[in-house]
Amino acid sequence: MKRIILTLVMCLSFSWLFGQTNNFKTVGADEFEEFIADTNVVVLDVRTEAEHAEGFIPGTHYNIDVLEETFTQVATETLPKDKPIALYCRSGNRSKSAARILTENGYQVVELGTGFRGWQSAGKEVAKP
């Protein structure tokens, strides 16, 4: 019995230490579309300027490239902390990094798990500059 309890405690400890805990919500295209319909939500594109110029989700307020070393500084100086942030990238990888950075800085974040490509695949509207 002690061995089972010890094994369970070790597994839970490793899960806690190495498990990925996100303080942000990842959603699909339909839920993202519903979320950003709220005018209180700030929509952030974390792709490069060149990617953004090819098309973006309508209602996007800001384009701040998460790959730039100044991302955290620019984002925290630009984005309001009293409003939820909905963010996306091309495929959902960079947006998770951006979401972690923003939640660590006190933001409430929802990220589009499938990214802009998933948005397009779902047949959602795309805006052009």
User: Where are the chain's structural domains?
Assistant: 21-121
- What is the rounded average pLDDT of the residues 95-113? 97
- What superfamily in CATH does domain 21-121 come from? Rhodanese-like domain (3.40.250.10)
**Residue percentage of the chain with pLDDT more than 90:** 82
Indicate the range of 9-23, 60-74, 83-97 predicted with least confidence.
Answer: 9-23
DSSP 43: E
Q: Rounded to an integer, what distance in angstroms lies between the CA atom of residue 32 and that of residue 38? A: 10
- What pLDDT sits at residue 22? 73
Q: Rounded to an integer, what distance in angstroms lies between the CA atom of residue 14 and that of residue 57? A: 39
What is the reported pTM?
Answer: 0.83
Q: Residue 26 — very low, low, confident or very high, per pLDDT cuts 50/70/90?
A: very high
- 71-78 vs 93-104: helix crossing angle, rounded to 10: 60
Residue 4 predicted with pLDDT over 90: no
- What pLDDT sits at residue 15? 38
Question: Alpha helix (H) ranges present in 19-85?
Answer: 29-36, 49-53, 71-78
Q: Dump pLDDT digits (tens) for 44-60.
A: 999 999 999 999 999 99
Give catalytic residues, as residue numbers: 89
